[in-house]
Chains A and B, each alone.
Chain A
């Protein structure tokens, strides 16, 4: 009798602990962990590394400096995701922007919603800030180039096997002349077997 009760209690205790068996550990951002085969942090990191390398070693930079004597000013446009997955381009685009700023060879200007917010704040200052600290309109830095991009993918699957190909293209276009001065890409192919 006693044994039955003990056995029941043990089973109940085990059942209650099984549901709390989750374990979470921090891993390095450089660790490669592939779980589902979908786009992940490793893909983003590899893309950023490749794109930064290509962009900074491209001839467009030297040509611009030679022609104008100034650092090029870049604004980031949109990246169109035409792949089959949700891919957030901001993760590798931010890495590229950071390399522009930290490298000191390229100037970066804000665009999109963030630029609007900045201008809104400047507009607010016109009424509320002291004259000595109020910022003026019409003195923003105009960009020389716009960075735009596309993300494409091709999926080939048969039974439980799948090959996924991603191609990330980024390009810089001269805003004045409409000339494309640089194209960088990163190609990633994955073989997934379920």
Chain B
């Protein structure tokens, strides 16, 4: 009996001591539940302060008729290109991967710049079509294709044409 009483007393004293440790002196007018908020925000502080000193971009796309028209044209051109590509590939030209062989990749066409995702490009399923991706292609180069050297070629062509015309007209 004496033993039980001693254990109970020790337990009570221990609880009391713990309670004493937990109690925090509040500042004047301080919210007594402040520790909950403190614990919560101390945990989240890294996440909440990670953008400090930076500009968080929360932009929206304003209505711009001229820009919209330009984008519509670009989108139509790209869709035409995709349709032609699909037609060409469905005829079964060559092997070796059109994109990999030429190594120009999608991004050279500015796919991301045209905002394909906004236009629901993926809904057309081109990306998701394995037949269209790396399997087919190879030697065929479509006439409308304009690679990185396209601008240089164009300039040289124009210059040559100009010189020829000038020569013809002069003589």
Is the CB–CB distance between B169 and A1 below 8 Å?
Answer: yes
The stretch from B1-9, B26-34, B119-127, B140-148 touching chain A is B26-34
The 8 A CB mask of A106-128 against B (1 = contact, 0 = none) is 00000000001101111110110
| Cα–Cα distance between A185 and B51 once the two chains are bound (Å) | 36
Is the CB–CB distance between B43 and A139 below 8 Å?
Answer: no
Question: In this assembly, does B52 line the interface, its C-beta being within 8 Å of a C-beta of chain A?
Answer: yes
Is the CB–CB distance between B27 and A120 below 8 Å?
Answer: no
Residues of B within 8 A of A (CB-CB), count: 29
A-B CB contacts (within 8 Å), total count? 69
DSSP class of B's interface residues: helix, strand, loop or mixed? helix
Is the CB–CB distance between B41 and A119 below 8 Å?
Answer: yes
| Cα–Cα distance between A135 and B43 once the two chains are bound (Å) | 16
Is the CB–CB distance between B166 and A5 below 8 Å?
Answer: yes
Question: In this assembly, does B48 line the interface, its C-beta being within 8 Å of a C-beta of chain A?
Answer: yes
List of A residues within 8 angstroms of B40 by Cβ: 123
| Cα–Cα distance between A137 and B46 once the two chains are bound (Å) | 17
List of A residues within 8 angstroms of B31 by Cβ: 137-139
Is the CB–CB distance between B30 and A136 below 8 Å?
Answer: yes
| Cα–Cα distance between A121 and B45 once the two chains are bound (Å) | 6
Is the CB–CB distance between B169 and A116 below 8 Å?
Answer: no
Q: Which residue of chain A has its CB nearest to the CB of B162?
A: A8
Given A1-B169, A137-B37, CB of A123 within 8 Å of CB of B63: no
A11 CB, min distance to chain B CBs, angstroms: 13
List of B residues within 8 angstroms of A124 by Cβ: 42, 45-46, 49
Which residues in A have some Cβ–Cβ distance to B below 8 Å? 1, 4-5, 36, 38, 86, 116-117, 119-124, 126-127, 136-139
